[in-house]
Structure 1
């Protein structure tokens, strides 16, 4: 009887891990399919709004919505990149569906966010080979995450969130 309970606990944990992995794979695949799209570029509008504004947070929001993942909100709106970059964000933690992981543990489908001092942060979705996918000035593209971090002197911290629901 005791071994049956242990087996059930083990299998429950295995199922949870498989579910987490399936959703993060969906997040990654959805983001990958948007590479080269201009829908979220700074130069275009998003749903008729936000022309000439950075829309990396809206890109992440739309990807999460597309795959049926819970999306953090603040005051009923999509959260901004600097909110994603806060490892203590009540908006993200309050969903019950995200946990922070170390930068060295990042994997495809994770949300990676960069906090900047004095300006908007940046957020994207981890890809493969050390890259992340995000909305940039002219299109959605895949960038080397370490190169992005080291090339922006205003970045003060990086937070990685993993979807767990």
Structure 2
């Protein structure tokens, strides 16, 4: 074996190790010593990013809609009840993500805003706490200190590090620094496709 071939192999190994460790890429050398770089990201991580972006885009597409307004009936949610959790549920479903549900003697329903806000396990949704920087597609939720039969809290979908889309009294809104979901107090849930 020629000396310069050994140096090429050593260089390839070093470059490969650096790129794999730092950039999550791997480098390959074919028989003609042409260098090619290919991604080694798993499909799961790409799907997570694609699905999170889709969640944010889908949520934004409903800004101004009145379907989830307090006074409107929506599926099994009657008029004159809050539907922020139903909005999150429907956006997840529309984005191709199976939304978490709860079942009682009267049927199956979207989980409540307080469920999103709690640290209890929700399949495929990692609890990040309240100090996590928001990312598009995160579910942002805050439980009320004094919940009632009509609302356990409030929830929406982050579309940036400081903006959220949620169902309000009259329509779906996009709001920066939403006082109903204050950063540092509201809980962050991040989708993890498993």
TM bucket (normalised to shorter chain) is 0.7 to 0.9
What's 1:21 paired with? 49
Aligned match of 1:57: 85
Structure ranking higher on relative contact order (CA contacts 8 Å, 6+ apart): 1
Structure 1: how far apart are the matches of 2:180 and 2:172? 15
1:145 pairs, out of 164, 177, 182, with 177
Deviations 1:69-88 (Å, cap 9, x if unpaired)? 12111113211111111022
Give 1 or 2: higher helix fraction: 1
Name the counterpart of 1:132: 164
TM-score (norm 1): 0.80
TM-score by length of 2: 0.69
1:64: Cα distance to partner? 0.4
Counterparts of 2:67 and 2:97, CA distance in 1: 20
Which structure 2 residue ranges, 5 or more long, are not aligned? 1-12, 25-38
Question: 2:192 matched to which residue of 1?
Answer: 164
Counterpart in the other structure of 2:8: none
Contact 2:155/2:181 (<8 A) preserved: no
How many residues are matched? 151
Aligned-CA RMSD value: 2.5
Q: Structure 1 52/86 Cα, relative in aligned 2: closer, same or farther at 3 Å? A: same
